[in-house]
Structure 1
Amino acid sequence: MAFLKVKLQFFADEKTEKATPKKRQDSRKKGQVAKSTDVNTAVILLFVFFFLWFFGGTLLGTTLSNLMKHVFQTYLLLELTPKSFEMMFVELTMEAAVVLLPIMLVAMIAGIFSSYVQVGPMLTTDPLKMKLSKLDPIKGFKRIFSVRAIVELLKSLLKISFAGVVVFLIIWFNLEDVMLLSQKSVIEGFATIAQLAALMSVAVAILLLFLSVPDYLYQRYDHEKQIKMSKKDIKDEHKNMEGDPRIKSKRKQKQMEMAMQRMMQEVPNADVVITNPTHYAIALKYDEEKSDAPIIVAKGVDYVAQKIKRVADENHIVMVENKPLARALHSQAEIGDQVPEDLFKAVAEVLAYVYRLKNKQVN
């Protein structure tokens, strides 16, 4: 018997169910989403290398040429003093910023774009929080020798192998240009090397982008596996949601709004509205084919009563002031109930008055 209980408990705790929307939302708030870093790396490299291919000659060539001229024509003739050193440091820093800032901006845009494509708009600081569990050596050892670590190792070896093959093929097909570098001028040689480097970089970036697609699919599969829930988890989540005071309050408010809307839709069909006249309002409808006594289709006090009277006035429903009857109907019956027997006579007198009034208006 004990073994059977343990077995049932094991199956109850086994994570076999897909994650609920709330579980997915909670995981997303913690930064736990299906995201491939390979996609980010490939897109960033592709954007940066394309940028260098199209604008690198102008950006690097002109800047480096001017910088070298300035160094040999000015800096080498200066006397080395703290002030001159500071001046050179500031100028070189500004020149480096002119070259690096556009590249860093392109890389940042590419990183944001690749992350947005994968997970959509998301901003969370939860992964940045300090967690002592991350310093646990036992958990760290398990992560190093886990299935995920083995997959990452195989991915890295695969990427290195393919990238090496691509670089080898590009050099092989341009081997003649490489062999002739010694016979070219410095500018021509630099241009050839830059062209080959750009070609190899873009080719490797495109390769990595293709290789990142199966990695992204694997990350989605692994993420779905990580956030799976057991049947017990789903039941507990449902209980927690049901017991949440905020959710209960919102649900109750929504139900009241819907009930109010339905009630107001019935007021135009009423035969009479009995008022207090300011604090109570009860709308009655009598259909002898459907019921033996008039039915209360709407009732309310204060604000609701004023709203009932306003709707009745807009639809030309007769309103009769009868304080005792209004209070009695409000306290003794609910919406949808028939008028209590002890109030039949008083209600009948009101309805008779309404019918006589309607007949006069018709005649």
Structure 2
Amino acid sequence: MVWLKLDLQYFAADEKTEKATPKKRQDTRKKGQVPKSQDVNTGFLLLLVFGALFILGPYMEGTLTGMYKVAFNEYIHRELTEEQTHSMFVEMTMEISKIMAPIMGVAIVAGIASNLLQVGIMFTGEPLKLDLKKLDPIKGAKRIFSARALVELMKSLLKISLVGVITFSIIWINKDQMMMMSQKSVEGALAFFGTITILMGVDSALALLLLSVLDYTYQKYDHEKNIRMSKKDIKDEHKNIEGDPQIKAKIKEKQRQMSASRMMSEVPEADVVITNPTHYAIAIKYEETKSDAPFVVAMGVDFLALKIKEVAQSHHVTIVENRSLARALYQHSEVDQPIDEQFYKAVAEVLAYVYQLEKKI
């Protein structure tokens, strides 16, 4: 039963039930793994492009009409030579570029804006790195027949059906007018079909944007699910960030030992050691060239205090018992730092006593 309980605890610790930590989110973002819906890109692209077509329609019509006029009024009378053909090709390419450049510019802006809206500014080369695991046929088959692939299939069918219904409905509503276009002028027919095309495009784009909200919600949910962490993962991450507690404890212990060793080497140079007498020991030194006030060269409690007193006795450093002063100095002083101003008078009296005792004055 004990082993069974331990196994259950182990599996529970490995179960990914916890939300991702900020560090895990940052790491996945660096790898290019962010919630993102391609439908947002498609919807924005279609909406802005068809909006640009609606606004730039007259300009495009004028440019195309001018191309036709030049072609049938000028180019048709030119001699068919290499130079003339090259000249006509360059001129036509420039005119077509004038038409296509604004549309391409709008498409680029739409692509950048839709990505910034979803993931913000992000630069990473991780998705471009060669990963042989992606060529694994077994994993590839699992992806094809996974729940995610089924969701993508259903989503694609829904988009195709929705766009098909929208375009068919618009055509069906305007079918009578379409039948009468043979009685209209060429310009009138082009204007009508252009309007119908833009209407179908804008309506389809709005429908895709509506679907993209649902798709982005699903993508975000799926992303959060994929980056979930187990309690063990969180603990390991904390260890990596903060360091293993056992190692940190050993380092601190080593630092304490080094600090204690250094302090012990300074005790023989002290002028006096003020004690509690058993729990506290503070070694004080006064040196005019180093500090205007007496400073602490070593201090400690319990075992360390005992060691300080032993070193002081072995080097004939005077030990003075002052319970309240020793405790106060320990609480308000730092090693290698001058004592606080509030202790000047009390320490001066102790030093004066020591100097008299040692006949230094």
After TM superposition, list the pairs within 5 Å mapping 1:71-150 onto structure 2. 71-150=71-150
> Structure 2 counterpart of 1:24, which letter?
R
Q: Could you tell me which residue of structure 2 aligns to residue 255 of structure 1?
A: none
Q: Could you tell me which residue of structure 1 aligns to residue 182 of structure 2?
A: 182
Q: Could you tell me which residue of structure 2 aligns to residue 51 of structure 1?
A: 52
Q: How far 1:213 sits from its partner (Å)? A: 0.7
User: In 1, Cα distance between the equivalents of 2:4 and 2:343?
Assistant: 73
Q: Which moved more, 1:203-212 or 1:5-14?
A: 5-14
Change (3 A) 1:13 1:177: same
> Structure 2 counterpart of 1:198, which letter?
I
Q: Secondary structure at the match of 1:180?
A: helix
User: In 2, Cα distance between the equivalents of 1:37 and 1:143?
Assistant: 18
Change (3 A) 1:348 1:24: farther
Retained in 2: the 8 A contact 1:33–1:223?
A: yes
CA-atom RMSD, angstroms? Answer: 3.4
Q: How far 1:9 sits from its partner (Å)? A: 3.7
1:284-316 deviations in whole A, cap 9, x for unaligned? 9xxxxx943452645576xxx7xx89xx9xxxx
Q: How far 1:281 sits from its partner (Å)? A: 6.5
Q: Could you tell me which residue of structure 1 aligns to residue 234 of structure 2?
A: 234
Q: Could you tell me which residue of structure 2 aligns to residue 277 of structure 1?
A: 289
Q: Secondary structure at the match of 2:19?
A: coil
Q: Could you tell me which residue of structure 2 aligns to residue 21 of structure 1?
A: 22
Q: Could you tell me which residue of structure 1 aligns to residue 68 of structure 2?
A: 68
Q: Could you tell me which residue of structure 2 aligns to residue 292 of structure 1?
A: 325
Change (3 A) 1:211 1:135: same
Q: Secondary structure at the match of 1:218?
A: helix
After TM superposition, list the pairs within 5 Å mapping 1:347-358 onto structure 2. none
Q: How far 1:206 sits from its partner (Å)? A: 0.6
User: In 2, Cα distance between the equivalents of 1:109 and 1:93?
Assistant: 23
Retained in 2: the 8 A contact 1:282–1:298?
A: no
Q: Could you tell me which residue of structure 1 aligns to residue 268 of structure 2?
A: none
Q: How far 1:234 sits from its partner (Å)? A: 1.2
Q: How far 1:13 sits from its partner (Å)? A: 2.1
Q: Secondary structure at the match of 1:295?
A: helix
Retained in 2: the 8 A contact 1:275–1:319?
A: no
Q: Secondary structure at the match of 2:32?
A: coil
Q: How far 1:150 sits from its partner (Å)? A: 0.7
User: In 2, Cα distance between the equivalents of 1:103 and 1:232?
Assistant: 52
Q: Could you tell me which residue of structure 1 aligns to residue 279 of structure 2?
A: none
Does 2:350 correspond to 1:345? yes
User: In 2, Cα distance between the equivalents of 1:87 and 1:241?
Assistant: 67
Q: How far 1:3 sits from its partner (Å)? A: 6.3
Q: How far 1:85 sits from its partner (Å)? A: 2.8
Q: How far 1:37 sits from its partner (Å)? A: 0.7
1:142-169 deviations in whole A, cap 9, x for unaligned? 1111111111111111111111221122
User: In 1, Cα distance between the equivalents of 2:110 and 2:81?
Assistant: 43
Q: Secondary structure at the match of 2:123?
A: coil
> Structure 1 counterpart of 2:47, which letter?
L
Q: Could you tell me which residue of structure 2 aligns to residue 335 of structure 1?
A: none
Q: Secondary structure at the match of 1:205?
A: helix
Q: Could you tell me which residue of structure 2 aligns to residue 329 of structure 1?
A: none
Higher Rg of the two aligned structures: 2
Q: Which moved more, 1:86-95 or 1:172-181?
A: 86-95
User: In 1, Cα distance between the equivalents of 2:18 and 2:99?
Assistant: 52
Q: Secondary structure at the match of 2:52?
A: helix
> Structure 2 counterpart of 1:121, which letter?
I
User: In 2, Cα distance between the equivalents of 1:111 and 1:274?
Assistant: 73
Aligned-pair identity in percent equals 51
Unaligned runs of 5+ in 1: 253-272, 285-289, 321-337, 351-363
Alignment length, in residue pairs? Answer: 287
Q: How far 1:52 sits from its partner (Å)? A: 0.9
After TM superposition, list the pairs within 5 Å mapping 1:160-239 onto structure 2. 160-239=160-239
Retained in 2: the 8 A contact 1:143–1:149?
A: yes
Q: How far 1:74 sits from its partner (Å)? A: 2.7
Retained in 2: the 8 A contact 1:281–1:299?
A: no
Unaligned runs of 5+ in 2: 253-284, 297-322, 356-361
User: In 2, Cα distance between the equivalents of 1:281 and 1:171?
Assistant: 96
Q: How far 1:348 sits from its partner (Å)? A: 7.4
Q: Could you tell me which residue of structure 1 aligns to residue 257 of structure 2?
A: none
Q: Which moved more, 1:61-70 or 1:80-89?
A: 80-89
